[in-house]
Amino acid sequence: MSIEVRNISKTFGNFSALRNISLNVPSGELIALLGPSGSGKTTLLRLIAGLEQPDAGGGQILFHDEDVVDRRVGDRQVGFVFQHYALFRHMTVLENIAFGLRVRPRKLRPGKGEIRDRVRELLRLVQLEGLENRFPSQLSGGQRQRVALARALAVEPKVLLLDEPFGALDAKVRLELRRWLRRLHDEIHVTSVFVTHDQEEALEVADQVVVMNQGTIEQVGTPQAVWDTPANPFVYSFLGNVNLFHGRIHAGQTMVENVRLCVPELKGAADQKVVAFVRPHELEVSRTPYGPDDLQAQLRHVQGTGGLIRLQLERLDTKETIEAEVTREQFRELALEPADLVYIRPKAMRVFAEGGVLDYQI
């Protein structure tokens, strides 16, 4: 079932949590709402579930083209997985999962045996067979999370909503569980929305990523798209490490630091300041200068656990910190020690000017 959010706003007292949000989630997709805390992502999720009511004023939430704003939370046929699981602590795993079926009106309630079979099937799905008589307190965090998921799926929701589903787990379990969630989604194909502040998680798991900030949506796109072509400086800096350079356009000439860029698209642009972003791996580091425009920096710190070595550099002119990434081989060739002087120059950058955004390859 598709979800469509149209012109939804939500304020708490004086705080504007969501400002005129519109979003379309195609049927069967797995969408991530990604943003820093306070960006409104959880509020949006709770509005879709019906746990919060949007501000009055014509906003709509459509499930399969049907407005559900006035529908009670229990009638929306959504499954909701809470950040801290919210399992019923006095019920066993079996009772937890069966709850949604047992509270149905008598006419719609499946028989006892049928409920038991459903629970067994769900336990198999979430790989917790044999644990049906445990209490939530006797389970690990990852197991609790999967019980919460099974409980949400038991009522055969049309939409599955997950609030920071892996937020409370340790790093290794997080990684396993999110891959497992992706496989599960491919298996059951229920339209799903999950909230996260972890960009890595969003980019790895979701079909589409919705980047949110201060109650608005900054960008919607596939993980590849938001990573490769961030729509604005916020998305760029929120997704991964990035170096910021300042520049300006003067008389049709774009200058970033000392580098004169040949940008035909900005020839006619008015005089203004611009910002340019460069990812750490887009910086070239060398011991000898390529040209007069190179920036000089001093090596402060080296960190490398994988195939890439991270260099923390300090610019000699502004004392700003710059992060660069080189391969292990390059690092060996450079033979760098802390306090060594190096030259750096960007191989590619993304310039945000008033006239538009453009990628610049050097």
Partner 1 sequence: MAGTIALRKGPATAAPGRAATTEQPWIKWLLVAVTLIFLTLFLFVPLLAVFTEALRKGLGAYFASFNEPAALAAVKLTLITAAIAVPLNLVFGLAAAWSIAKFNFRGKSLLITLIDLPFAVSPVISGLIYVLLFGLQGWLGPWLAEHDVKIIFAVPGIVLATIFVTFPFVARELIPLMQEQGSEEEQAALVLGANGWQTFWRVTLPNVKWALLYGVILCNARAMGEFGAVSVVSGHIRGKTNTIPLHVEILYNEYHFVAAFAVASLLAILALLTLVAKSLVEWKARQQANIDLEPIPAEES
Which positions lie near partner 1, rule CB under 8 A? 49-51, 73-75, 78-80, 82, 84, 86-90, 99-100, 103-104, 135, 137-143, 151-152, 154-155, 172-173, 176
In this complex, which beta carbon is closest to partner 1, that of residue 88 or of residue 290? 88
Q: What tokens were used for 251? A: 């008389």
Helix, strand, coil percentages for the chain (3-state, nearest 5)? 30, 35, 35
Which residue type does 62 have?
A: L
For partner 1, which is the closer residue by CB, 147 or 266? 147
Of 147 and 274, nearer to partner 1 (C-beta) is 147
Rounded least distance, CB 68 to partner 1, Å: 13
**Residue 49 CB, nearest distance to partner 1 (Å)?**
6
Distance CA 154, CA 115 (A): 9
What's the CA dihedral at 5, 11, 17, 18 to 10 degrees? 30
CB closer to partner 1, 103 vs 270: 103
Would you say 44 or 249 has its CB closer to partner 1? 44
In angstroms, give the least distance from the CB of 147 to partner 1: 12
State the minimum distance, in angstroms, from the CB of residue 128 to partner 1. 10
Per-residue tokens: 106: 């008598």
Q: Strand, helix or coil at 226?
A: helix
Q: How far apart are CA 329 and CA 338, in angstroms?
A: 18
Give the closest residue to 23 by CA, choosing from 224, 199, 198, 195: 195
User: What distance in Å separates the CA atoms of residue 346 and residue 24, rounded to the nearest whole number?
Assistant: 37
**CB 74 → partner 1: shortest distance, Å?**
4
Q: Which residue number, 87 or 285, has a Cβ lying nearer to partner 1?
A: 87
Query: What is the nearest approach in angstroms of partner 1 to the Cβ of residue 76?
Result: 8
Cβ-proximal residues to 321 (8 Å cutoff; 6+ apart), any chain: 300, 312, 313, 314, 315
- The number of beta carbons lying within 10 Å of the beta carbon of residue 267 is 13
* Cβ closest to partner 1, residue 151 vs residue 350: 151
Describe the crossing of helices 112-125 and 141-154 by its angle, rounded to 10 degrees.
130
Question: What distance in Å separates the CA atoms of residue 228 and residue 180, rounded to the nearest whole number?
Answer: 26
Least separation in angstroms between CB 266 and partner 1: 51
For partner 1, the closer CB: 37 or 361: 37
CB of 161 to partner 1, least distance (A): 9
